Amino acid sequence: MSIDIKDLEHGITRIDVHYIRPGLAGSYLVVEQNRAVLIETGPQLAVPRILDALAKKSIPRENVEAIMVTHVHLDHAGGAGLLLEKLPNAKLYVHPKGVKHMIDPSKLLASAMMVYGEERFGKTLGGLTPAPSHRTVTPADEERFFLAGRELVFIHTPGHAIHHLVIWDAKSRGIFSGDALGISYRELDGPGGPFLFPATTPIQFNPKASVESIRRLTALKPHRLHLTHFDSIDFNQTLMDDLERQLQDYAQLAWDIRADTLSDKSVRLLEGIKTLSRERLEAIGCPKTFLESSQVLSMDWEINVQGLNHWLDQIERELG
Ligand SMILES: [Zn+2]
């Protein structure tokens, strides 16, 4: 089996959806008594990879009961509509505040076109298919789903976006965390462990809500974190404390330079985030040079700067 599919413990398989590059975004298949749930879809372009993974795991398409997405950003949920066509018995589980964008993806489409441009949209995301509303389910906070008796719990976790939820798997004490517990790439792992950093993506990022969500999830005392970006890692309280610290530092950084012009702000934010990242990469003994690590992280840094700027604008509007 290729490294695109990795079997973890407790009937969980991680699928690399090859969004932008290998090792950046994943999807998880949870199997119990030959029944399955898919968590995260990747972009629509990844649908053949997901179907291929099901075939390799000998799971009939009819046995997929649910597609669950942590939020409606297209690297997490872009494939949901097309997958519903391919998986006849599956329903789409999505946060109540995100479901309208799955049923009518015109807003998602417009903003993706703005960010990517038409050509890159096609090459990176592949398209967007509406989800029929009668096949969507909007779980409440702490609502349960049973997969052949295996309990999965939806937990609403605003912060990265208001329409963000995570899925708690009691059997493995694992959290399918979407972007609520940060991003961590395996090629940056050092002898001192992984480098985990926040995803402060536009346009709904809120640092205070992010920290509250992190605390709520760490109180569950999980054993594993199944990150969408990228891969499953061991839970470690120190990592969570440091994630909180980075969020506070990011927000402070943004707040301190709020009077600057937008271009100055963006440059200073980027420099500040780079410095915070560099300190951590050095502390874990990351095997890559900082220049190499910067190539891995540059896209996320840019997005984080945009999200922080957006958060600041919103605060200023609120303060009048
Ligand atoms: Zn994401």
- Written in H, E and C, the secondary structure of the chain is CCCCEEECCCCEEEEECCCCCCCCCEEEEEEECCEEEEECCCCHHHHHHHHHHHHHCCCCHHHEEEEECCCCCHHHHCCHHHHHHHCCCCEEECCCCCHHHHHCCHHHHHHHHHHHCHHHHHHHCCCCCCCCHHHEECCCCCCEEEECCEEEEEEECCCCCCCCEEEEECCCCEEEEECCCCECCHHHCECCECCCECCCCCCCCCHHHHHHHHHHHHCCCCCEEEECCCEEEECCHHHHHHHHHHHHHHHHHHHHCCCCCHHHHHHHHHHHHHHHHHHHHHHHCCCCCHHHHHHHHHHHHHHHHHHHHHHHHHHHHHHC
Q: Write down the pLDDT at residue 259.
A: 85
Residue 207 has pLDDT above 70, yes or no: yes
Q: Tell me how far the alpha carbon of residue 73 lies from the centroid of ligand 1, in angstroms.
A: 7
State the average pLDDT for the chain: 95
Cα–Cα dist 68/165, whole Å: 10
C-alpha distances (whole Å) from 11 to each of 23, 32, 149, 154, 174 are 21, 7, 14, 19, 12
- Give the position of tokens 């291929």: 52
Q: Tell me how far the alpha carbon of residue 88 lies from the centroid of ligand 1, in angstroms.
A: 26
What is the band of 176 on the pLDDT scale with cuts at 50, 70, 90? very high
Q: Write down the pLDDT at residue 115.
A: 76
Q: What is the mean pLDDT of residues 158-181?
A: 97
Q: What is the mean pLDDT of residues 26-45?
A: 98
Residue 320 has pLDDT above 80, yes or no: no
Q: Write down the pLDDT at residue 318.
A: 84
What is the band of 111 on the pLDDT scale with cuts at 50, 70, 90? confident
Share of the chain above pLDDT 70, in %: 99
Q: Tell me how far the alpha carbon of residue 131 lies from the centroid of ligand 1, in angstroms.
A: 20
Residue 1 has pLDDT above 50, yes or no: no
Q: Write down the pLDDT at residue 112.
A: 85
Q: Tell me how far the alpha carbon of residue 40 lies from the centroid of ligand 1, in angstroms.
A: 10
Residue 317 has pLDDT above 90, yes or no: no
What is the band of 113 on the pLDDT scale with cuts at 50, 70, 90? confident
Residue 116 has pLDDT above 90, yes or no: no
Q: What is the mean pLDDT of residues 92-105?
A: 98
Q: What is the mean pLDDT of residues 127-155?
A: 98
Q: Write down the pLDDT at residue 114.
A: 81
Q: Tell me how far the alpha carbon of residue 108 lies from the centroid of ligand 1, in angstroms.
A: 14
> Where are the chain's structural domains?
5-236, 238-319
Q: What is the mean pLDDT of residues 1-7?
A: 79
Residue 162 has pLDDT above 90, yes or no: yes
What is the band of 315 on the pLDDT scale with cuts at 50, 70, 90? confident
pTM for this model (two decimals): 0.96
What is the band of 2 on the pLDDT scale with cuts at 50, 70, 90? low
Q: What is the mean pLDDT of residues 175-187?
A: 98
Share of the chain above pLDDT 90, in %: 88
Q: Write down the pLDDT at residue 319.
A: 80
Asked if residues 190 and 286 have their Cβ atoms less than 8 Å apart, the reply is yes
pLDDT, tens digit (0-9, with 9 covering 90-100), for 14-32 = 999 999 999 999 999 999 9
Q: Tell me how far the alpha carbon of residue 320 lies from the centroid of ligand 1, in angstroms.
A: 31
Q: Tell me how far the alpha carbon of residue 289 lies from the centroid of ligand 1, in angstroms.
A: 25
Residue 33 has pLDDT above 60, yes or no: yes
Fold type of domain 5-236: Metallo-beta-lactamase; Chain A (3.60.15)
pLDDT, tens digit (0-9, with 9 covering 90-100), for 277-306 = 999 999 999 999 999 999 999 999 999 999
Residue 74 has pLDDT above 60, yes or no: yes
Q: Tell me how far the alpha carbon of residue 200 lies from the centroid of ligand 1, in angstroms.
A: 10
Q: Tell me how far the alpha carbon of residue 228 lies from the centroid of ligand 1, in angstroms.
A: 7
